[in-house]
Amino acid sequence: MTRAVAVLCFALALLVPSLARAHKPSDSYLMLEKTATGVRGRWDIALRDLEPAIGLDADQDGKLNWKELRARLPTVIAYATARLNARSATGVCRLAAQPQGVVAHSDGKYVALSLDFSCPSDATSVTLVYDFLFDVDAQHRGVSSYTDEGKVQPFVFGKNRRSVVLSRVIPRFSSIVGLGIEHIWSGYDHLLFLTALLLPAVLRRRDGAWQPAADFRSVLLDVLRTVTAFTLAHSLTLALSTAHWVVLPSRFVESAIAASIVLAALNNLFPVLDADRTLAFGLGLLHGFGFAAVLSDVGLSGSSFLRTLFGFNLGVELGQLAVVVALLPVLHLLRRSRRYPTWGLPVASTAVMLVACVWLAERAFDLKIIS
Amino acid sequence: MAMANGRRRAWLLGVPISLLGLAAALTLARPTAATAAVYVPRSDDELLETLPVGAQNRWLQAPTGANAHAPADAASSVARARSELIQYQASSDPRYLGRAEAALGPFWEQPNPPQPVLVLRARIRQSNHEFSVALSDLDHALLMDPQDPQALLDRASIHTVLGRYDAARSDCSRLEGLTASLYVSACRAAIAGVTGSARAAADDLARALLVPGLELEDECWAESLLGELSTRVGDWAAAEAHFLGVLAACPSDSYAKGALADLWLARGRNAEVVRLLAEQVQKDALLLRLTIAERGLHSPEFSKHLEDLSQRFEEAHLRGSSVHRREEARFELALRDAPERALALALSNFEVQRETADVQIALEAALAAGKPERAQAVLAFVRASGLEDPQIARLLARFPR
């Protein structure tokens, strides 16, 4: 009888009709995405889960404040990162983790960690092993998502599913070309630079003044030469930068690109360089570095390097060509306008220059703030 | 054109994101639990979380290293699992269930663990609504020890939840002489309450409660059962008195709070429900009742609590949990005005458990959706069981004969 009483200390609980379990169970949230070199993302871990595992509430008063959590962040990072690993077929991925702050989920506060796994560069898949908290709470789940190629793959880690294979999709050629087109169209600065170069294409410098070009055929040739020079230049630096042979700080590149537009517009107002090609090539070199920043996010592994570079560049040229084709009829009309050399060109060039000056100031200002 | 530098750069990044889906924006923009914003608290004193205190919650950090890697000693595993389960029963916080499971360590996976492990494992599985594996654990445990009162009582309760009343009655009879008369009476009362003899069962249980020297928790559970029986026979004043009695003795009893809230909600006493449950927003089942009351009162809290509830259900879906289907059905019906979804949830819930509340939500949803024919199985079950309950009877009257 004594045994029965001891065992039955919560005997009747089940006889009363059940009220659904009151609280939310233990979940962590792992949001991952593909990067050039591996996988990165954010990991939200409930403070309520960390308390029994490593102890956060230093004064044991049942109230956890930011000071107490802050003091334990190094332990949180060490505890968590020791329990989440990634590897590819050829080796282990290095994990860099940082505390980001706290975040509220529906049942309370979580600590948010940023994660960045760097894997061997030829990895076509990454195996993620989640061995977190199951020894504390066997019903813990790691509610996760992995984003690659716009596809979100949700999955849940549990005691009986501790690993998942994340395949790293190599982008389709057409989507790389599309990326190039999108980039040139959305990168106003490249288009504005090109516009600045093409504005005087219908005019010729004679005796220190602008004169209409003799015929439209020569205008076409002029445009072709300018665009080709720009293309050659930015293709060259795009390749150099993407291959990591020449790497420039992105803020410098951004500012220099803005400056290049100012220079191109200035050259329309006060022509120094006769040949637009020289300007297009010289300053076009800068723009290639700007394109490279976009490509570095796509992820370039050894075998697909040339394919990606070629596809992206092709996209940039197609996008640029479309803009030029759209500009040609306008240029054709402008060639006959008498006011264009005296009014149209200076006003348009000044407007372009002002916009570029604002960009330049912003980018340079940013540079000062950061350094 | 002169966009801010930061904005412009974000835009540049946004293009490859939309094309190749590389970037956080997509992940973070998902309408899931992940939408919340990360921030760094401004003050050291900012309160982040209220945590349970006491040594019980720290055993994992004990210097002895008492965790799952400890040697597989059945007695200490069982003792720890049992103490976690008691915490679960007291708080209905499922983390304690997970910790009880973790405490059983390697025994959890064994096909033939020691008998006490089987009984605890069954209890944990039952709490996760894994009734069939829980039953097979208890069958196994009772083969090893046919007179284990805990295993008999637990098996009787599973049979009751599943509506297998004959099997449940047989287990209650086997309890006779093995344990205190309160447990035998409660075992029978739980069945009688849903098979048409609530009044007699209540008298019997009330007599058993007169025995001196009962544990407070047992008294509270038995009193809740009495409240349940009074509800069945339509004596709402008595039911209310029982549940208030439970809360006087055991103030944190979630079951009594929920049952009392249901009594009051059915009679439109929304303000009292809000007073009872205002502090209970952490507990999903109670937050549900609170939000229903707030809707009736056009309370300013309503929309926030509705949002919280939606998020809780969504998070449960994300983790693949389905233990909330009864509550979710009620949520869809009473708060989202979505009787079709409520009916689907209620019917799939009815496949798993068949308590009075499960019957009630299925009938209500079928009527609200205008599809009474889809509740055929529920109607057949009610008629076969002899369930008496004025609320169920009123619902039954609205079904075509």
Contact between B61 and A52 using a beta-carbon 8 Å cutoff: yes
Q: How far is A283 from chain B (nearest CA, A)?
A: 20
Closest partner CB to A12 (pick from B97, B160, B218): B218
CA gap B220, A173 in Å, rounded? 69
Q: Tokens for B134?
A: 């829980």
CA gap B146, B187 in Å, rounded? 17
Contact between B92 and A61 using a beta-carbon 8 Å cutoff: no
CA gap A15, A23 in Å, rounded? 21
3-state secondary structure of A140: coil
Q: Give residue B348's pLDDT.
A: 95
CA gap B172, B167 in Å, rounded? 9
Q: Tokens for A307?
A: 């394919």
Contact between A17 and B286 using a beta-carbon 8 Å cutoff: no
Say whether residue A34 is in contact with chain B using an 8 A CB cutoff: yes
Query: Which residues from B are below 8 Å from A355, CB to CB?
Result: 1-2
Contact between A103 and B39 using a beta-carbon 8 Å cutoff: yes
Name the architecture of domain B72-179.
Alpha Horseshoe (1.25)
Say whether residue B154 is in contact with chain A using an 8 A CB cutoff: yes
Query: Which residues from A are below 8 Å from B312, CB to CB?
Result: 24, 106-107
CA gap B274, B294 in Å, rounded? 7
Longest dimension (CA), chain A: 118
Which letter does DSSP use for residue A18 in this model? P
Q: Tokens for A350?
A: 């000044």
The residues spanned by each domain of chain A are: 23-167, 173-370
Cβ burial, residue A363 (10 Å; 0-12/13-18/19+): buried
Say whether residue A129 is in contact with chain B using an 8 A CB cutoff: no
Q: Give residue A240's pLDDT.
A: 85
Which residues of B, range 337-396, sit inside 8 Å of A by Cβ? 353, 355-357
Closest partner CB to B282 (pick from A23, A54, A101): A23
H or E segment and range at residue B49: strand B47-50
Whole-prediction pTM = 0.69
Q: How far is B98 from chain A (nearest CA, A)?
A: 4
Contact between B98 and A188 using a beta-carbon 8 Å cutoff: no
Q: How many helices (H) and strands (E) does chain A have?
A: 11, 13
The residues spanned by each domain of chain B are: 72-179, 343-401
3-state secondary structure of A210: strand
Residue of B nearest to A141 (CA): B319
Q: Which stretches of chain A score pLDDT less than 70?
A: 1-22, 121-123, 169-172, 273-276, 294, 296-305, 366-371
Structural Rg of chain A based on CA atoms: 30
Q: Tokens for B110?
A: 């064994």
Say whether residue A147 is in contact with chain B using an 8 A CB cutoff: yes
CA atoms within 13 A on the CB side of A138: 22
3-state secondary structure of A160: coil
CA gap A343, A134 in Å, rounded? 75
As beta bridge partners, residue A33 has: A40, A147
Among candidates B369, B328, B358, which has minimal Cα distance to B345?
Answer: B328
Residue B126 CB neighbour total at 10 angstroms: 22
Among candidates A11, A301, A134, which has minimal Cα distance to B155?
Answer: A11
Residue of B nearest to A365 (CA): B5
Q: How many helices (H) and strands (E) does chain B have?
A: 21, 1
- Whether the complex's predicted ipTM surpasses the cut of 0.95: no
Going by their DSSP bridges, the two strands A84-88 and A27-34 should be labelled as unpaired
Q: Which stretches of chain B score pLDDT less than 70?
A: 1-35, 54-72
In sequence order, which residues have a C-beta less than 8 Å from that of residue A113 and are 6 or more positions away?
A: A42, A43, A44, A45, A76, A77, A80, A97, A98, A99, A100
CA gap B368, A159 in Å, rounded? 40
Say whether residue A368 is in contact with chain B using an 8 A CB cutoff: no
CA gap B13, A296 in Å, rounded? 11
- CATH of the domain spanning A173-370: 1.20.1250
Which letter does DSSP use for residue B8 in this model? H
Of how many residues is chain A composed? Answer: 371
Residue of B nearest to A56 (CA): B51
Outline where B60-197 has alpha helix (H). Answer: 74-91, 94-104, 115-127, 131-144, 149-161, 165-175, 181-192
Contact between A62 and B316 using a beta-carbon 8 Å cutoff: no
Going by their DSSP bridges, the two strands A38-46 and A151-157 should be labelled as unpaired
Taking a C-beta distance cutoff of 8 angstroms, is the pair A268, A200 a contact?
yes
